[in-house]
Structure 1
Amino acid sequence: MQSKPYLSLADVKKIAAAAEAEALANNWAVSIAIVDDGGHLLWQQRLDGAAPLTSYIAPAKAKTSALGRRESRVYEEIINNGRVAFLSAPEVEGLLEGGVNIVVDGHTIGAVGVSGVKSIEDAQIAKAGIAALG
């Protein structure tokens, strides 16, 4: 039987704090969601001024990234390159850049999804959060 790392509550709080700090440093009003490797929500916050819709988009991006074991940006590119049939894939809703999977020792252990600013900036916030794990 194999073993793999997992996100503890302390890890999640560390990621959330660093992602929030990145967003606030840039004056970006966003929602931030963190999920485990099965796409189950572990943390969500909506910063002041973030649109209500972002609270639905951020966890969808995170779930898609965790289940697919890659950044959600990859799916956006697949669709933009003409493979629109991918829109019918089950369990994927956040097909936009801004979901970033968390990889430790070669295992995807979760993901961070961010929504509220340009997609590349959403991803920047997610990556800043993940970087806090070291």
Structure 2
Amino acid sequence: MRSMISLALAACAVVAISSQALAQTPPPATAPAAVPEKMPFDIPYGMSIGLEQAKQLVAAAEAEAKKHNWKMNIAVVDTNGEPVLFERMEGAQIASGSISIGKARTAARFRRETRLFFNAYESGHTYAATLDPTLTASPGGFPLVENGKLIGAIGCSGGTGDQDAVTCKVGAELVK
């Protein structure tokens, strides 16, 4: 009887030790992703957007928002991400003012649409949080590229991310 108990305890010990060893085994290595030859989002900087052009973009975005009865905060920033023009539509959510500026700033400084950061978070890639503490990873921020050069960005906030993006895209599309 004693030998049966000893044998059972020994078997349990072997299972416990081997399961710990398996738990510490590193996962198999995966092949690294292909390295692109061309640098992504390599948009050269141009002369920053001026107030008059910013007014036109905000007016277009505001008209789009009104068409849907959306109350938006709309921001246009220069190439450095500094505000050029900000508008809060009547009744727009107050908290979204700084968010719209954050979206525009992120789009300008990273030279890409803010939806890309949102998509990265949604797919479990939280590395973006380590890039810049002011990064805004939400749809609704678009870089403004004129004649192939970055002149600033536009950001909208107040609705859902998709409503923000629809509103701001109209303004962004005025820049060619």
TM score, norm. by length of structure 2: 0.70
SS in 2 for 1:62: helix
Question: Could you tell me which of 14, 30, 35 is aligned with 2:77?
Answer: 35
What pairs with 1:1-134 in structure 2 (closer than 5 Å)? 4-133=46-175
Unmatched tracts of structure 2, length 5 or more: 1-43
Deviation track 1:65-106 (CA, whole Å, cap 9, x = no partner) reads: 000100000011111111113212125331101001111122
Q: After TM superposition, which residue ranges in structure 1, 4 or more long, deviate above 6 angstroms?
A: none
Distance 1:75 1:3 in 2: 21
Q: Which moved more, 1:104-113 or 1:87-96?
A: 87-96
Provide the aligned length of Structure 1 versus Structure 2. 133
Distance 1:128 1:3, change over 3 A: closer
CA contact (8 A) 2:45 2:150 kept: no
CA 1:18–1:90 in structure 2 vs 1: closer, same or farther (change >3 Å)? same
Query: How many percent identity over aligned positions?
Result: 32
Larger radius of gyration: 2
Cα distance in structure 2, aligned partners of 1:61 and 1:67: 10
Q: Any conservation in 2 of the 1:33–1:59 contact (CA below 8 Å)?
A: yes
The amino acid that maps onto 2:59 is: A
2:53 partner letter: D
In the other structure, the counterpart of 2:21 is none
Counterpart of 2:28?
A: none
Matched-pair contact (CA < 8 Å) for 1:31–1:46: yes
